[in-house]
Chain A
């Protein structure tokens, strides 16, 4: 059927896939398993023509192929349903399904009748009981997911790739989806199904393929496997542990979060974070692990005052209850947030290193009556460039010209200049090479030893083990595990992250 041989894919120096081999069996549901960052989505994007440049080759029905774009893959018979919904909200179901595949009459106008008819047939097949004229934004998320599937089925593909199709839909909609998958199987369609919800996979998958760190680890029949065996295959790496410097301050309580909840939005009351309670001591590093969508980033953003009207619960800093309703207040209370997406939320790319470092602390260090003191600013920047070992030609270098690791250090510098009490680090080493990673870990450990309290979100288990004193595990917005790092094992954490709420 579809076979991938020795696929290697690099993103600007980072190897995402390393000699991966995979075989999709015809007429079966092939489950692709792996942790976040294992390379599942990258591999699927290669199969479906999203990434045309890679090493290795694809065999399609025995013939080598290389798809230059998704259209070629579609025409060959491979359709992908992406993790994020790719529908246009203000267009109708029909218009979305036929987007780029419009049927025209001999006059060159749109053949709306025919398209409408085909859409109706597809919707019937998927048991989606809505009119084809309905606009996408009037549909529920689960229904939108079904429209995505309808769109994929339009060209009657042989292979359908589903990337985390159940991440946004309700249990009932999952049942409908599984019925559809079974029907597709009857029609001898091949399905590649990516998910980290193991329970689902046991119900519907025929075969499994495990990826870990961009390598193919194992594959085989699903029958006869159990939870623990699969998890074992997904984890199991060497862990490198840094020497922790001795703590220079007494271990008193710094942050206490009690019954902390966050609603999705004012219109959608479901809880993104559900009744979280935890504490953080001075000098402690609390690792927060969870899979995508577990609510880790939302926890940080909510603590930092981005959703004041959606949160409930109490937050105490040094024993004093605080109400943080904006980032301005968060900074005043001694919080600092190093965001996950450095480019989008972290750096101001067209400013230089110095201006990025001073940005959050102008009010404390370098201005008087609103007038900037550029000399003080340069001194401040130079201090952190030296202390954190930021490699830059000068403090006047544009920050976008620095490597990811050095940009991250500059952002750390920006926050240290505000003399924070608590650091919130969201995926602090994402997209950073191995060497710079280990430097950042060293810095994190030093900062904790100097008395800061650190909350660190990570989806990389080795990272959690490398620096944490204690680990919290989030799963779908609830706290499923809290443990000292000494008692934690990889599969214990992963199990807690995968487990559904009881």
Chain B
């Protein structure tokens, strides 16, 4: 009897973000007649697709009780590299060499760069036992600096229609960025729920000592996860660059905070081991709807930030209260 009551309570606490989203939509819908329209629906989803990519990677990292502050800068660098390679290629005048890049080649190079930077994060964290907060904070600065070097401080613009498809195109009636983030989410859900790697991620976050002593190669798992987070930040970078038709040197500033917010609102514990990709997706949608609603209601962008801050606090307080009861 008691156990069924408990599981019911647990289920209810899992539903909380969903209920919150529902209530939020209802309120905004009552206040604004533009909210419940098809175009606004796609609009919200398209706007959050970048954050979803970042937040999915962030969820995997946070599940291991880590944090990745570098995603915003990595996004900017990878977007700039892809844009630069696609537009100008690599020229080596001394050897009379020019390498041109197709859209696919340039995109792969961008994603590969993100993966490499993530790998480097993971390597530093595991090899030198640097706290993830510090290691990725350093990467935040390094990647931003590299972006400035690569772009010389100027946007790389005029990338063409082909490039813009990724950020602004439609496929089967759905915006392309929404497709991309949906695929990312599907892969991440599969990874976290159905694979050995996913199980190890939860185990490491739940008890790193016990995982180590169970013969899990925790360093390998960590490096893989940071690599994934870096690659996903790069995917986000491609979408941002494509949507703006321009790689901005200061793109993605502060995005790490939005993604951490989505993870936390989605119920993933910052101390690791507890949470889910679906929760994060909900968290990202809640933030997106909130942003969208505040814009529709003509609330000043400054107030939007204040409101967002309190929503994050509220989410964590509710989560704390739940875990105390459970």
Contact = CB atoms under 8 A, between A and B. Distances in A.
Interface stretch (A61-69, A170-178, A210-218, A325-333): A325-333
A344 B211 CA distance: 11
A371 interface: yes
Given A348-B203, A350-B274, A330 B215 contact: yes
B206 A351 contact: yes
Contacts of B215: 327-328, 330-332, 360, 418
Chain A interface SS verdict (over half) = mixed
A178 B12 CA distance: 63
A359 interface: yes
A258 to B, nearest CB: 24
Interface string A310-346: 0000000000000000111011100001010000111
Contact of A363 (B3, B196, B273): B196
A351 B216 contact: no
Interface residues of A, number: 29
A335 to B, nearest CB: 9
A347 B210 CA distance: 6
A414 interface: yes
A362 interface: yes
A414 B194 contact: no
A146 B310 CA distance: 50
Contact of A372 (B195, B212, B213, B274): B195
B196 A370 contact: yes
B209 interface: yes
B86 interface: no
Contacts of B202: 348, 351, 355
A360 B214 contact: yes
A216 B61 CA distance: 53
B83 to A, nearest CB: 34
B194 A372 contact: yes
Contacts of A372: 194-196, 198-199
Contacts, number: 76
Chain B interface SS verdict (over half) = helix
A60 B211 CA distance: 49
A407 to B, nearest CB: 11
A359 B273 contact: no
Contacts of B209: 344-345
Contact of A370 (B195, B211, B216): B195
B207 interface: yes
B213 A347 contact: no
From B3, B197, B199, B273, name the one whose CB has the most chain A CB atoms within 10 angstroms.
B199
A359 B211 contact: yes
A370 B197 CA distance: 7
Given A328-B215, A372-B199, A393 B3 contact: yes
Interface string B186-198: 0000000011111
Contacts of B102: none
B8 interface: no
B289 to A, nearest CB: 30
Contacts of A308: none
A414 B211 CA distance: 12
Contacts of B198: 372
B322 interface: no
A348 B206 contact: yes
A379 B200 CA distance: 20
Contact of A348 (B194, B196, B197, B273): B273
A393 B2 CA distance: 12
A437 B200 CA distance: 31
Contact of A367 (B195, B207, B212): B195
A461 B217 CA distance: 36
A349 interface: yes
Contacts of B195: 367, 370-372
A367 B202 CA distance: 16
B196 A367 contact: yes
Nearest to B207: A348
B210 A348 contact: yes
Contacts of A326: 217
A363 B200 CA distance: 11
A371 B194 contact: yes
Contacts of B217: 326, 328
Contacts of B194: 371-372
Nearest to B219: A326
A304 interface: yes
A261 B195 CA distance: 40
A326 B212 CA distance: 9
A304 B213 contact: yes
Contacts of B216: 327-328, 359-360
B3 to A, nearest CB: 6
Given A327-B214, A359-B214, A351 B203 contact: yes
Given A327-B215, A331-B215, A350-B274, A362 B199 contact: yes
B3 A347 contact: no
Nearest to B193: A372
Interface string A370-391: 1110000000000000000000
Contacts of B212: 327
Contacts of A328: 215-217
A63 B213 CA distance: 52
B214 A414 contact: yes
A351 B205 CA distance: 11
Nearest to A418: B215
B203 A345 contact: no
A414 B216 CA distance: 13
B15 to A, nearest CB: 19
Contacts of A418: 215
B317 to A, nearest CB: 20
Contacts of A363: 196
Contacts of B211: 348, 359
Nearest to A394: B3
A313 B215 CA distance: 22
Nearest to A339: B213
Contacts of A346: 210, 213
4 tightest CB-CB pairs across the interface, nearest first? Answer: A331-B215, A348-B206, A360-B214, A348-B207
Given A345-B207, A351-B203, 5 more contacts: A331-B215, A332-B215, A345-B210, A359-B210, A372-B194
8 contacts: A327-B213, A330-B215, A337-B213, A345-B207, A346-B210, A346-B213, A350-B274, A367-B196
